[in-house]
Structure 1
Amino acid sequence: MQFKVIGFLLCAALAGCGGEDDPSKAETHAVKLSSSDHRLAKDLFGHVSTASKQNAESFGSYAKGCVGGAVQLPETGPTWQAMRLSRNRNWGQPILIDYLKDLSRKAAAQPGWEGLYIGDMSQPRGGPMLTGHASHQIGLDADIWMRAPKHLMLTVNDREHISSISMRKSAGAFVNDEWTEQHHNILKAAASDPRVARIFVFPGAKVQMCKDEKGDRAWLNKIRPWYGHHYHFHVRLNCPKGDKSCVNQAPPPKGDGCADAQDWVNNILNPPPPKPKDPNAPKPQPKAPITLATLPSQCSAVLSSR
């Protein structure tokens, strides 16, 4: 648990972990890889402005893959607005587009909410991004702002400059006064959808939901504590049925996960002492960047499709 604390407090100091996510250590790569192109994948995928003309399909895992035939979420709909349009990250698998539209309608039924502000999804062809996320690579992840939309008439310029609202207090150990019953209800609706694999949110929010939920608690299993995620919550969908090249993350442990979330909170409030350094321990090596060669081989075809 100590590594969680150190990482979480560092993120708190940086006001939210701009590099975000990604708790996908349990993922394995089951797709044949290319071995010929060592260009940085983020430079290749980060500058493509349109989706590939292919059938919708995800290749690889959430933090190491790409997406063919992605669909763009319309900039504005009856119950949503896509934010930060200059990033061109409002793309995803059709199943993600449908999910976000469904959830936005449920959010619009909550008092004080006109729908949802949708943050980063994926790039037009997925893959690693130039900045920010480690995941969001296969068209099945989306960030949803914690800010309640009072109206859905934001201009393009508004969407570049308006910010979401933080829900955390005490470095994420608790929710603050901005947290409402509506946040609980929207997250419950988001996690109760069978298309969802998991939802990432800061530890204090998970603990608060555990305290407040008086009915069915099964949905809490999919709410997972993670660094940052106090301005938005991060939805991750399961691989679509029949999508054989998509690698699911291991399912969450059984149970509601409330005790684990409380451990995160306890360690935020009372961090354990750091372990003494071993002078003979090898120095940690920086993580190798993702190149086209280390992505699934299908990603070359995704890039070259016109």
Structure 2
Amino acid sequence: MFVRDRQAITPLQLRLLILLCLFSAPLLATPWGEVKQPSAGAPEVIGGAANGCISGAETLPETGAGYVSIRRYRNRYYGHPDLLAFIQEMGRAQQRRSTQLLMLGDLSQPRGGLMSSSHRSHQNGLDVDIWFTLANSPSAARQLMDNRSDPPSMVAAGGRTVSEHWGQAQFELIAAAAQHPRVDRIFVNAAIKQELCQSADGDRSWLRKVRPWWGHDAHFHVRLACPDDSPSCELQKPVPPGDGCGADLAWWLSDEVLSGQAKKGTGKPQRPATPKMPAACRAVLTSP
């Protein structure tokens, strides 16, 4: 607490506190967000999702069959051709299921790299956020998303069950994504993973790709496997065997996590220290 013995903070103390906050707060300055266009040349993924880049990235169209890309002002709608193909296949599948549209969030910046806000990952053109809420039209999606808060959470208060906004459409959406052969893993809130574990029948092998993670209650985060044309791409360690519905999931739903005693990035699982940016990415950043 900054107030001691119930004494009011003086104007001088207030100014000092403001200065302390200004100079102690981490400011994430990154040159990658200043680049407005992809680099020339053939597409290639370099490095990992949390420490990499992409050369020759392709641009996701704002709209397509079954989808709409939102928050375009962020300039984070670039990716490897495999990612764009995955999105377009998901959109066509959504179009067959419903007249509603997928709402797509961030992919990568024009040349990937670290973003100034929102993500540590999404750096190498293989990640995309897909919102669980579906849109009735592109204009409805823009009205909902561009200048407002996120859509409703799919997780109920307390953090252990899904909310009233969850339904069959959301189940089908994430099941389709997880069964796609290019997908390496998907990050969701633990309560959503638990709901999938309880609802899935028949072939449950796709559940293995769906991993519990902090947040991710209104959208899910898809990460593709390294493409064949990118030998410098670094894939994460393989996901553990099994459907992921056992002890590991139970930890995510424990009092330790839900009470906030387990802080993001500590405890289980461990986050590795950020390695040095691949040298090839420096050339991508500065190339024409």
Normalised by the length of structure 1, the TM-score is 0.76
Aligned to 2:49: 62
Aligned partner (choices 101, 106, 118) of residue 115 of structure 1: 101
What SS is found at the alignment partner of 1:170? coil
SS of equivalent residue, structure 2 residue 253: helix
Query: Structure 1 residues 164-173 or 181-190, which shifts more?
Result: 164-173
* Alpha-carbon spacing, 1:170–1:269, altered in 2? closer, same or farther (3 Å): farther
In structure 2, the gaps of 5 or more residues are 1-26, 263-271
Pairs aligned (count): 251
Q: 2:168 aligns with which of 166, 178, 181?
A: 181
| 8 Å Cα contact 1:127-1:137 kept in structure 2 | yes
User: Kindly tell me: are residues 155 and 231 of structure 1, through their superposed partners in 2, closer, same or farther at Cα, counting changes over 3 Å?
Assistant: closer
2 CA distance for matches of 1:233 and 1:155? 17
Where does residue 227 of structure 2 map in the other structure? 240
Based on CA coordinates, which of the two structures has the bigger radius of gyration? 2
* Contact 1:203/1:261 (8 A) holds in 2: yes
CA distance in 1, matches of 2:151, 2:131: 6
C-alpha deviation, 1:303, in angstroms = 1.3
Structure 1 unaligned runs (5+)?
A: 1-39, 275-286
From the superposition, tell whether residues 144 and 96 of structure 1 become closer, same or farther in structure 2 (CA, over 3 Å). Answer: same
- Alpha-carbon deviations, 1:211-240, whole Å to 9, x = none? 111111000000000000011000000000
* Cα distance change on mapping 1:210 and 1:125 into 2, 3 Å: same
Look up the match of 1:23: none
Percent identical residues: 39
Q: Is the 8 A contact 2:126 2:223 kept in 1?
A: yes
Is contact 1:42-1:128 (8 Å) kept?
no
1:264 counterpart = 2:252: yes
SS in 1 for 2:97: coil
Given the superposition, is the C-alpha separation of residues 289 and 266 from structure 1 closer, same or farther in structure 2, using an over 3 Å criterion?
closer
- Given residue 131 of structure 2, which amino acid in structure 1 is its aligned partner? W
Residues 296 and 145 of structure 1: CA distance in aligned 2, closer, same or farther (over 3 Å): same
1:141–1:56 CA distance, 2 compared to 1 (3 A):
same
**What is the Cα-based RMSD across aligned positions, in Å?**
2.4
Residue identity in the other structure for 1:297: A
Instruction: Find out whether 1:46 has 2:33 as its counterpart.
Output: yes
Aligned to 1:229: 216
Greater RCO, CA 8 A, separation 6+: 1
How far apart, in 1, do the equivalents of 2:255 and 2:224 lie? Answer: 29
- CA deviation after TM superposition for structure 1 residue 242, in Å: 3.7
Match of 2:110 among 100, 121, 124: 124
Query: 1:155 Cα deviation (Å)?
Result: 7.8
- CA drift at 1:270: 7.3
In 2, are the aligned partners of 1:85 and 1:156 still within 8 Å (CA)? no
> CA 1:155–1:254 in structure 2 vs 1: closer, same or farther (change >3 Å)?
closer
